[in-house]
Amino acid sequence: MINKGIIEKINNDNIKVHLYRDSACAHCSGCSSSTKMGSTFSFKCKEKLSIGDIVTFEIEDSSLLNIAALVYLMPIIFMMAGYFLGQKLGFTEGQGVFMSFLFLAVSFGLIYFFDKQRGEKLIDQKIKVISIDKPDQENDISSCSLDK
């Protein structure tokens, strides 16, 4: 996934980038220019950068797909497993539904625990900076890593 943003803050190797919104939203003239900016993103980069530079960087799609599968599919699987386990144990329909919601809550707890313990390691992929647009220099290509 390719993202683009403006460098907002630099603290040693930590770079804070204010991301542009997706291209479909950015080309629309329905909003003011201040709403064309999205969220902020921090990462480590050893390149010489300045505040106001426009950075284009890429994050590996495989790490994003792993996170999406964890966050979106795991609760559904847990909820269905809770219901079917309740049915196997001979619970009534209402008790099976209650058990499915209980398993759903457990899945959210596991996702939260996993994120706090190992989430950074899952996303700890190299970020490839594709280009750095500076007023006086040409584009650079480098590799940087996520902020921890």
What total of structural domains would you count in the chain?
Answer: 2
Q: Are residues 35 and 76 in the same domain?
A: no
Of residues 57 and 126, the one with the higher pLDDT is 57
Q: What is the pLDDT of residues 14-72, one digit of tens each?
A: 778 888 876 555 555 555 555 566 777 777 777 777 788 888 877 777 777 878 888 89
Domain ranges, residue 75: 62-122
Alpha-carbon gap, residue 127 to 115, rounded angstroms: 20
Q: Are residues 67 and 118 in the same domain?
A: yes
Q: Are residues 106 and 70 in the same domain?
A: yes
Question: Are the C-beta atoms of residues 139 and 131 closer than 8 Å to each other?
Answer: yes
Q: Are residues 21 and 49 in the same domain?
A: yes
52 contact partners, CB below 8 Å, separation of at least 6: 6, 7
Threshold 0.85, pTM exceeds: no
Q: What is the pLDDT of residues 79-125, one digit of tens each?
A: 999 999 999 999 999 999 999 999 999 999 999 988 887 765 555 45
Q: Are residues 68 and 117 in the same domain?
A: yes
Q: Are residues 28 and 54 in the same domain?
A: yes
Place of tokens 């460098």: 7
